[in-house]
Structure 1
């Protein structure tokens, strides 16, 4: 388990899946904005749920996000596309609707940075987010990420192309958060 100031990142449990599925997958708009491919209906107990963890994939690490104050499951966090040769990875997360706007996202990014840099020995972490996802942009910037560019019309979302913003952070630029 990895502890931040507001959240705990832990291994995904079977009882997390229906909660994450109902709060994130069944929200067609949010899921369409977060997923790489098109949204499709998937039954919660299905082995095809995006929240089922395949521990055999070495380039992907899934966490469940738990609020420290309430001990409630509030979302999911991922280090994905882990490249052990070039020592870099991408950061992703999804917060349940009731958990948004409470500072959890910034803390999740901080904990994932610690995991990526201190535990995995990575040199670079990257975040790609839709141009209108101000919350993720702020979480990246508050954790020292640099806005590196825009990929124009690179995401097909709900019938329109959207720009994505690319953020990067190098281990030498990283300032570990203190857990007060």
Structure 2
């Protein structure tokens, strides 16, 4: 397991799937805001492609996010779109409603940075998020990500096109201790 200050990133357990499905994917509005694909119901007990892992897929590494103080499941995180030639990847995370607003996002992003830069030897990480997702933007910026641009009207969310913010971080810019200096403001 990868350990941050308050969270751990571990492989997905079978019993994580119904909790993540109920907390992250059954909510149409929330799921629509965090996915590039339209929401659709998934039959209980079926292999949900958003949660069931494909060990052969080298382009993504999904994790379950757990609290270090007891192991409670907090959400899901992933490095996706991994490009081993260019040594780049994208960062994604989704916290269960009960884990939001507690500062875990900053720790998850930092732990994913450690995995990407130190464990995998990547040279660039990137985040695309809805422009109004201030919690994700702050979590990224606390870990050193820089706003590189706005993708105007690039995401279709519940009947409207909305802007996305593009943030990037290079391995040589990453300072793992920097995220701890802003721990006073929690989201």
Give the TM-score category using the shorter length.
Answer: over 0.9
* Stretch of structure 1 that moved more, 99-108 or 47-56: 47-56
Tell me which residue corresponds to 1:135. 135
| TM-score using structure 2 length | 0.93
Provide the residue aligned with 1:158 in structure 2.
158
Distance 2:4 2:179 in 1: 6
Unpaired stretches in structure 1, ≥5 consecutive residues: none
Q: How many residues are treated as equivalent by the alignment?
A: 180
Give the C-alpha shift of residue 43 in structure 1: 2.2
Match of 2:123 in 1: 123
Deviation string, structure 1 residues 129-161 (Cα, Å, up to 9, x no partner): 001000000000000000000000000000000
Contact 1:42/1:48 (8 A) holds in 2: yes
d(CA) in 2 for partners of 1:8, 1:119: 15
Alignment TM-score, normalising by the size of structure 1:
0.97
Moved over 4 A (4+): none
CA distance in 1, matches of 2:121, 2:44: 35
The equivalent of 2:184 in structure 1 is: none
Cα RMSD of the aligned pairs, angstroms, is 1.4
Cα displacement (A) at 1:178: 8.4
Residue 97 of structure 1: how far off its partner (Å): 0.3
Unaligned segments of structure 2, at least 5 residues = 181-187
